[in-house]
């Protein structure tokens, strides 16, 4: 990272997401080993690595869907609280998009997007619906608002999921392999929305196998293997001159075709 010590605001403002010394075990298996990562406001960080490297687990620890065994995670200067009301409050500020969309199956698209704003933010139904429609239009599924999730294609469902997260006006968005469950022709419609979001200044942490997206939208690429961060670099540098043997090996495998 570049230190801008002259900039006063950079001194006083903590990183938006501050991960320090995080360990995570699943039984005997150590999924995360001493992870340190700071993410600044407006930054798009893409996390890549072979499967089982801990990148999804890391993503899920940031809003405490996975608990951690050691270390600290702070968001906007506040450490993650224990389960309960403060944690729910914090989660409402951290958007999350899942690999399997996870839209609420018994609710219409519009209800999916308004549930959080109404129940958590206390918005009036009308106000929430107007905002939701704006977001649905923006991700290109406005005309589907009255349908149920199963009536939409995977790509449309994932764009609704992004709108559902955005409706909470999050400080940071987590994407956990958002295109891995999609048919190839639908991947780009989701990535386009994400690229646009990043360009508008949203802070994003994106776990993905989409190297094109990483090149295009990432400020930094984090390469993980075996539960450790092996390398952090700008996308150009990472893809053209990876420093570590692990990264070179990984890139040669995925870019071979």
- Please report, as ranges, the residues that interact with another protein according to CB under 8 A: 63, 65, 83-85, 88-96, 98, 100, 102-106, 115-116, 119-120, 148, 150-151, 161, 164-165, 168
Minimum CB distance to another protein, residue 224 (Å): 21
**Paired tokens of 157:** 């469902």
Instruction: Report the residue number, 178 or 235, with the smaller CB distance to another protein.
Output: 178
Query: 106, 149 in Cβ contact below 8 A?
Result: no
Minimum CB distance to another protein, residue 110 (Å): 14
Minimum CB distance to another protein, residue 73 (Å): 15
Instruction: Report the residue number, 100 or 240, with the smaller CB distance to another protein.
Output: 100
**Paired tokens of 196:** 């646009």
Instruction: Report the residue number, 125 or 253, with the smaller CB distance to another protein.
Output: 125
Sheet arrangement for strand 44-48 = 94-97, 172-176, 203-207, 44-48, 220-225, 228-233
Minimum CB distance to another protein, residue 107 (Å): 8
Instruction: Report the residue number, 55 or 64, with the smaller CB distance to another protein.
Output: 64
The secondary element (H helix, E strand) that includes residue 129 is helix 125-138
Residue 128 CA to residue 131 CA, distance in Å, equals 5
Minimum CB distance to another protein, residue 167 (Å): 8
Task: Tell me the CA distances in angstroms from 191 to 134, 185, 235, one per residue in order.
Answer: 19, 11, 17
Instruction: Report the residue number, 13 or 169, with the smaller CB distance to another protein.
Output: 169
Handedness of CA 232, 237, 239, 240 (dihedral sign): negative
φ, ψ for residue 18, nearest 5 deg: -125, 105
């Amino acid at each position: 990272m570049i230190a801008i010590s002259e900039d006063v605001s950079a001194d006083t403002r903590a990183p938006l997401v501050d991960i320090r010394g995080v360990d995570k075990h699943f039984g005997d298996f150590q999924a995360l080993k001493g992870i340190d990562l700071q993410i600044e406001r407006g930054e798009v960080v893409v996390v890549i690595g072979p499967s089982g490297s801990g990148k999804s687990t890391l993503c899920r620890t940031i809003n405490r869907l996975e608990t951690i065994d050691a270390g600290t995670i702070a968001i906007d200067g506040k450490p993650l609280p224990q389960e309960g009301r403060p944690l729910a409050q914090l989660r409402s500020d951290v958007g999350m998009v899942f690999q399997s969309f996870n839209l609420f199956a018994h609710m219409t698209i519009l209800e999916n997007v308004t549930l959080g704003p109404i129940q958590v933010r206390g918005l009036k139904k009308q106000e929430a619906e107007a905002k939701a429609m704006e977001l649905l239009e923006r991700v290109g599924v406005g005309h589907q608002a009255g349908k149920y999730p199963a009536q939409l294609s995977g790509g449309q469902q994932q764009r609704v999921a992004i709108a559902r997260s955005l409706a909470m006006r999050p400080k940071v968005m987590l994407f956990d392999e958002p295109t891995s469950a999609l048919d190839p022709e639908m991947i780009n419609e989701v990535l386009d929305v994400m690229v646009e979001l990043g360009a508008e200044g949203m802070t994003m942490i994106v776990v993905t196998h989409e190297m094109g997206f990483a090149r295009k939208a990432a400020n930094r690429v984090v390469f993980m293997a075996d539960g450790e961060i092996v390398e952090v670099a700008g996308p150009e540098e990472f893809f053209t001159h990876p420093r570590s043997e692990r990264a070179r090996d990984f890139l040669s495998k995925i870019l071979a075709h």
